[in-house]
Structure formats: structure tokens, C-alpha cells
Chains A and B, each alone.
Chain A
Amino acid sequence: MNAPVSESAAPAPRGNGWTGVLPVLLAALLFAGFASMLPAISAGNVLRWQAEWVPSLGISMAFLVDGLSLTFALLISGIGALVLLYSNTYLAGHPQYGRFALFLTSFMVSMLGLVLADDLIVLFVFWELTTFTSYLLIGFSHEAEKSRRNALQALFVTAAGGLAFLAGLILLGFAAGTTGISEILAQGDALKAHALYLPILVLLLAGAFTKSAQVPFHFWLPNAMAAPTPVSAFLHSATMVKAGIYLLARMHPALSGTGVWLWTLTVLGAVTAVYASVLALRQTDLKQALAYTTLMALGTLTLFLGQESGYAMTAFATFLIVHSLYKAALFLVVGCIDKATGTREAELLGGLGRAMPITALAAAVAAMSMAGFPPFLGFIGKELKYAGALAVASEPALVAGAVLISNALMLAVAGVVAFRPFWRPAGGPLPRSPREAPWQMLAGPVILAALGALFGLYPDVLQRALVAPTVVALSGTPSDVKDLKLWAGINMPLILSVATFVLGLALYAGHRRLRAALETAFSHVPSLDAGWDRFLQGLKALAAWQTRIIQTGRLSQYLFATFATILLGLVAGIVARGLPPLVPDLAGTSWIHVALAVLLLAGAGLTVGSASRIAAIAALGVVGIGTALVFIVFSAPDVAITQLLVETLVVVLVALALLRLPALPRDRFRPAHAALATGLGATVTLVLLAVLSAPLDRRLTNYFEAASWPEAYGRNIVNVILVDFRALDTFGEVAVVVIAALSAYALLRTTEGTRK
């Protein structure tokens, strides 16, 4: 295991000025704006904005606010504001704070765009934006090798998933005949019966599972903890990793209800939840422990999205909010501990309650919610989870078992992270003597923890404001909304809750012995993280190997490969399509055509047969000028002039280059080259004859002839096509000319430098 290292230096006296304050204000304004939409959404309305983006493809900048997206938007902007306020003090005086604030704010805006998008393409754009901004944030401490590596790992895994996701979105848009998400959700039954349903589902799930770190793509998330703690609090608990969950929830009305959906989400969600909560207990770094509990939460949310019952939907909507509140609070608490003591190591920390009473209180309240004790919101969330698990159609006992185990482990981890560091007598020697964090850093944990407690006492407020609209957005029917109640009578969920407390407290009591046992047990399990490194090494080795094979550095081999490929392509085409009868029409042949053919043949023969390079170059020039003459004879003066000039330049350039090469070897007959040249010449001749034997399609020619003067005011059709009708093509070509010249220039300069 990597020893946890404190990432923050001693508190700096200087603030960050406006760069620190502005993002907080922006996030707070956004939060206020979304909060003002609450009455409308609670009343069951849906708000929608739309602006045309690519009308020819039917893509529009469409945004939708319903219960689901508003819940996410409020979490993102609200936690975003608190995290930005926190960061401003946490990273006070950091030389690159402006950059940090920009990354974090961009991420927040991208995330908001993602959850509000009502068009598949808009959704994808914001999806990728969150991938890139989170890459920048994970790698923010870019001086550290580990930080760069982990950022790249997160980027690769999520971007690979993003590619699959894009393919899935395109298929989905194709199957539904629209990219508008609202329209797609309205035709769920048709989609489920569509032949493309399975490919769409697999591709979308690949995107969602990589983004939300479900087993077996989970390994990047704990590594992403290389990011500064506020980033972890924001991205890796409340928002980014929930993007995949959001997607599953968004697509729930259209795609859920099939066997594949049910089993994939239930099984992978349950496996992730149990596996991650076991691993969470194994961690001694508080931040890592929280990272694994986040995985557990994501697994649980996925599991419930696999179902369709009203209890499962209500459990999803409630636990989504519960988790975001307590997890962000606890991450921020860990940041406070780290800042105050200089370590996050569970075995060192102890007795902080006296020095940091407010932090300790916030931590305790958040942890009670996490552990699921009444009267906190976490208790209600847990009851609903059990109710949802028992309502699972196929295997309620199995699902409830998985939820029970992960909840009990969660309780134990909550104790390790948020109780033990503050209230056990004393730990090891601390790098720094602790003191209470400043108010900017306390605001986040205190407010978030307090919300968890308040909503626990007044669950009906939360139910009306957010949970009910979210459930309606998921299932479409208000009757699916189940009540959020602290006391629902003595029923099965309550019995399971009591079992959770007993098992959880036992696990907490024995967690150090368990940790040691887990350490030995997991030392034999192959690590996906190490596998990732091996995979990358293998990829690099493969690249090096194929480069060695393909890039020999010999020009003649490159040319051979190029021309052999052309030959193969042409031959394949001829074999596949067959040749029309080739009857060259020799009626109009005059002596001048014969003379030109003789000139060209003589030039080619001399080029190949000459013993001196200069003679070969001159003979090559003869071939070129002969070609130019052909163009003149067949009245294409523009092409002829260009050919002539290019030919002249080529002779000059080649003469400059070739004269420096060693003398030609005496015996230079290369059978393979000769065969290739002859074969290519013969094949091209055949193809040209075949082209000529077909009647020429004059539609384009007629159009250009007719339009050149009246529309483009030019009589030279060739030039008018180049600079007007097809100017974009020409622009591409001249761009290539510039790039080629600059690259050649750079290459020549480099070799000059190394030679001297």
C-alpha cells in the first residue's frame, strides 16, 4: 500500500483574492437559480430550453429540468459552492490556485450540462468534458509521478468507456430516429423490441460502468484520490462518478425492464457494493477508505436502478441524496484532519475531538447518517434500501443479503473514519499538533452534515421537494413514490436494520483483526491495478515491436510497400469487379501521339538503365516533360503548365539531393522491384483502358461549364473549380503543402544539427 502523504503544507497566510471568491459566488448563484425552480418541479412540472445547434442533423442544444436532473443539479451546484469555498482556504496561497479554480469550475459547469442535457449529442459533449476536466483535476499535483499516472489511468478508462458510450448513443439515436432524449424516453417499448436493443444496452453500460467505477472497472477510482481532497469530495463522491448512475437513471424509463438490464445491473451492482465495502475496511488511509465506500454506494445505486418497483426507485432517489451529503461532508472532514495534523493514517490519528470540536461534531453527524442510525436521513435511506431489496422480483434474499453485508461494513467504516480519530484516547505521534479548521473549511462539513440530520427529522420536506419528482422522472407514475418515514412500524426492513447495527458494531469492534486477515487474504488476489500497468507496458512493447518491423528507415522499402499496396488494391478491385471488354479506339491516332509515346518510353528506359544518377534524373525529366506535352496535345493547358513547372522543380530538387548520394552500384538489377514496376504499370494501363471504355459521365462537367461564368465570373473552369466551387478542398491541400514544407524543413534542420 502507498503510505498516505499529506498534500497540504502549513496554512498559508495569503488568500487567493478574486480568483478564490468569484467561483464560489458563481456556484452559489447557480444553486440559487436551481433552487428557485424547486416549486415548479415539486408541483410536477418539467422545464425545457431549446436552441438550434445542427438543424440539418436534428440536433439541438436542448436542456431539461425534471426531478432527476434538478436533484443532480442542486447537489452539483450546492456541494460545488461549498467545495470551492473550502478549497480557497485549503489551497490558500497555492501558486496555481487560479488554474485549480478554473478546472473545478469548468468541471462543475460540464457536470451541470451533463445532467440537464436533453439531447444525446449534447449529453455526450458534456460527458467528455467532465472526463477531461477531471483528468486535469486528478493530475493537479502534476509534479508527482503517481498523480500523473493515476490521472492518465482515470482518463484512459473513462475515455475508453466514453467511446463505447458514443457508439451506443449513435445507435440509440438511429434506433429511435431522434437524438432528443425526451422523445427517446417516450418510445421505450419500441426500443426494447428493437433489434439494436442489446448492442445499445451493452455500449451504454460500458460507458456508465467505467464512469461510475463498477467492477471490473473500479480500480481507477481509489487511485483518483491522488487529487487534492476537495476534488475527491466533489468529483469522486457527489458528482462525476455519479454521471454513470445519472445516465442509467435517465435511460431507466426507456431501457429497463428486460432480463439483461435487470441481471447485469443487479449482479454487477451487488458485487461492486460487497467487494468495495470489504476493501474499504482494509484501508488505513482515511481517504482511501472513503473512496472504497464510494464504490459501495455506486454499486448500491446501480443495483436499485436494475429494478422497477416503487420501493427500489424511492430507495435510489433517497440514497442518492443521503450519500452525496454524508460522503462530501466526510471527505471534507478528512481534508480538515489532514490539514490540521499532517496525516490521514488511521492508526496514527486519535484524540482529535478536544482540539477540533466542530469538525468532530460534523464528522459524527455525517457518520451517523452513513452508518444509518435514526433519526438521521441515512436511517430512512437504509430502511428504503431494505424495502427496495425485498421488493426485488427474482432473488430478494440474495439482494437483501448483499445490502445487509455492505451496510454493516459501511457502519464499521464510518466508525473508523469519523469516530475513532476523534474519540479514541490517542494515536501515534502526529506530524503537527492539531487545531480547529477555519470557518471556510468548516462550512461545508457542518452544512452538509446538518442537512442529513434535518432531512432525517423532516423527511416529508425532502420527499415532496426532490424524491417524489425524481421517482416520477424514473418510473413515470406518482403512485410509485413511497413515503419517507422515520417510524414505519415493526416490519422486515426494521428487523434487517437491527441486524445491521449488531453486525456492524461487531465488525467495528474487530476491525483491526479483520484488517490483518483481509491483508493476507487479498495479497493472493491478482490486482487489477498492477494488471493495468502490465497492460500499458505490453502496449508500449507492441508499439515498439511493430515500429521496428515497419519503420526500417530505408526509403526504397517504404516506396516498395506503398506501390505494392496500390498494386494489390488495384488487382483486388479488378478481380472483384471484373474488367469490361477493352477495345482501345485507335482511330484518331496521329504521328504526334506515336512520337510522344516513343519519347516517354525512351525516357523511362533511360531512367532505369542509366549508369549515372545525373543522366537518370535528366531522363526522368524527359518523362515529365513528355507527360506535359500529352496534356497540351489533349488541350489541358493549366495541367500542362503545372506539370511542366513541377517537373522542373523536381529535377532541380532531386538533382540537389541525389548528387550527394554515393555512386550507383554497378550491378543494380533488382528483380522484385522490376516485377513490381512492370506489374503496376500493366495494371494501371488496364484500369485506364477500362475507365476509357465506359461512357464518361458529363453531369459535373456540364454543371461547371454552365455555372462557371454566370455564378463565379470566371472562364477558366479548372481554376474556378479550384478557387471557388471546391475552395475548401484547395484550402485543405495548401494546408498540407505548408505542413509538408515545415516538416521537411524541421527534419533537414535536425539532421544538419546532429551531423555537425
Chain B
Amino acid sequence: MNSVILRAGTRYLVGLLLVFSIYMLLRGHNEPGGGFIGGLTGATGFILYAIACGTRDARAALRVAPQTIAVAGLGIALLAGLASALFGDAFFTGQWLFLGGSETEKGLPLSTVLLFDVGVYLVVFGAVLTLVFAMEEEL
């Protein structure tokens, strides 16, 4: 679609959507959001970019092939599940680490659960873009 307005607007929208998608991913454990929604939001940003500027530019901006991202996400999710084996727990038992915790604050929570959600994010993001790019190029 050859539209100057859309292209100009897209530059800002893509960035916003990506930041928002990561926000959705991170808040997901306590508020509405999560890896699935985050991944979809992020993918929407790049779909917009592809519609405005073409898939060639969108692929160039992405730098990595979307199917690679999807597979990497699956690998990360698997790692998050396997990590519990190091601590002698069953497959996919969440492992938590609280950074800088005190009496009142429990600190910054880091966990394999978050890592798993990042994997889900990348899978959804990569898989949707794989499909959309392929269809746009095909049609």
C-alpha cells in the first residue's frame, strides 16, 4: 500500500507497539497480558510495517528470519522447562530468584516462568510473522 501518511505514522506506531508488547509480556503475571498477547501485539507492529513499506523492508528491519525466531522461542521455552532438572524438581517446576529483597519488599522477581513466557512471546511473534510475510509475498 503506497501511502505517505501510513508510512510516516507507521515509524512511530511500530516502536510504540513493540514497547507496548514487552510491557504486556512483563505485566502478564499479575495483570491482563502475558507472552501470548505480547507476541500478538508485537507481531501486529511488524505486520503494519509490512503493509506500509512492503515485506522486504519489514524483513530487513526484523534482521532475523521470523521462523528462526519462532523456533528459538520454542527452544527457550524448553530450556525453561528443563532448568528445573538442575534443582532436582519435576519438568516445568517454576524456579524463582528474588533480587534485592527486604523485609517488606520481596524484590525483583526473576524466574524460569518468565523465561518460559518470553519463549511463548517469541513463538507467537515469529509464527504469526512467518505466516503473514509468506502470504503477503505469495499473493
Residues of chain A whose beta carbon lies under 8 Å from any beta carbon of chain B: 637-638, 641-642, 645-646, 648-649, 652-653, 656-657, 659-660, 712-716, 718-720, 722-724, 727-728, 730-731, 734-735, 737-738, 740-742, 744-745, 748-749, 751-752
Contact = CB atoms under 8 A, between A and B. Distances in A.
Interface in B7-64: 28-37, 40-41, 43-44, 47, 51
A741 B127 contact: yes
A646 B41 CA distance: 10
25 contacts: A638-B33, A641-B32, A656-B132, A712-B94, A716-B29, A716-B32, A719-B34, A719-B117, A722-B36, A723-B116, A724-B113, A727-B81, A727-B94, A728-B81, A734-B74, A734-B77, A735-B74, A737-B123, A738-B70, A741-B70, A741-B130, A742-B70, A745-B131, A745-B134, A751-B138
B131 to A, nearest CB: 5
A75 B135 CA distance: 62
A731 B81 contact: yes
B117 A723 contact: yes
B38 to A, nearest CB: 10
A517 B123 CA distance: 71
A737 B125 CA distance: 10
A708 to B, nearest CB: 10
Given A653-B132, A745-B134, A660 B139 contact: yes
B135 A748 contact: yes
A-B interface, 10 closest residue pairs, ranked by CB to CB distance from nearest: A741-B127, A645-B40, A637-B32, A714-B29, A715-B30, A727-B92, A719-B34, A734-B123, A748-B134, A741-B130
A741 B126 contact: yes
A734 B119 contact: yes
B116 A727 contact: yes
A724 B94 contact: yes
Nearest to B31: A716
B131 A734 contact: no
B31 to A, nearest CB: 6
A751 B136 CA distance: 14
A168 B67 CA distance: 45
Given A742-B67, A748-B135, A716 B33 contact: yes
Given A642-B36, A649-B128, A745-B67, A731 B138 contact: no
Of A646, A735, A737, the most chain B CB neighbours within 10 A belong to A737
Contacts of A734: 73-74, 77, 119-120, 123-124
Contact of A723 (B109, B113, B124, B131): B113
Given A649-B128, A712-B94, A741-B128, 10 more contacts: A637-B32, A652-B51, A653-B132, A716-B29, A723-B116, A737-B123, A741-B67, A742-B67, A744-B134, A751-B138
A678 B135 CA distance: 32
Given A724-B113, A741-B127, A749-B134, A649 B33 contact: no
B131 A716 contact: no
B131 A727 contact: no
B40 A649 contact: yes
B135 to A, nearest CB: 5
Contacts of B67: 741-742, 745
Q: Of A645, A646, A751, which is in contact with the most chain B CB atoms at under 10 Å from its CB?
A: A645
A730 B47 contact: no
Nearest to B138: A748
Contacts of A731: 77-78, 81, 92, 116
Nearest to B84: A727
B71 A738 contact: yes
Given A649-B40, A731-B81, A744-B131, A723 B74 contact: no
Interface string B67-96: 100110110011011000000000110101
Contacts of B139: 656-657, 659-660
Nearest to A751: B138
Contacts of A716: 28-34
Nearest to B37: A641
Interface residues of B, number: 51
A719 B26 CA distance: 11
Contacts of A724: 94, 113
Contacts of A723: 28-29, 34-35, 113, 116-117, 120
Given A716-B29, A734-B124, A648 B135 contact: no
B99 to A, nearest CB: 13
A643 to B, nearest CB: 10
A652 B132 contact: yes
Contacts of B41: 645
A752 B137 CA distance: 9
B47 to A, nearest CB: 6
A97 B21 CA distance: 56
A652 B44 CA distance: 10
Contact of A727 (B74, B113, B134): B113
A742 B130 contact: yes
A646 B31 CA distance: 19
A641 B51 CA distance: 22
B34 to A, nearest CB: 4
Contacts of B77: 730-731, 734
B124 A719 contact: no
Contacts of A659: 139
Contacts of B34: 638, 716, 718-719, 722-723
B125 to A, nearest CB: 10
B121 to A, nearest CB: 10
Contacts of A637: 32
B32 to A, nearest CB: 4
A728 B29 contact: no
A642 B128 CA distance: 14
Nearest to A642: B37
Contact of A652 (B47, B91, B96): B47
B135 A719 contact: no
A645 B81 contact: no
Contacts of B119: 734
Given A716-B29, A731-B78, A738 B127 contact: yes
A662 to B, nearest CB: 14
A724 B128 CA distance: 24
A31 B97 CA distance: 53
A223 to B, nearest CB: 42
A755 to B, nearest CB: 9
B40 A642 contact: yes
Contacts of B78: 731
Most buried by A among B47, B92, B132: B92
A675 B36 CA distance: 36
Contacts of A751: 138
Contacts of A752: 137-138
Contacts of A748: 134-135, 137-138
A730 B78 CA distance: 11
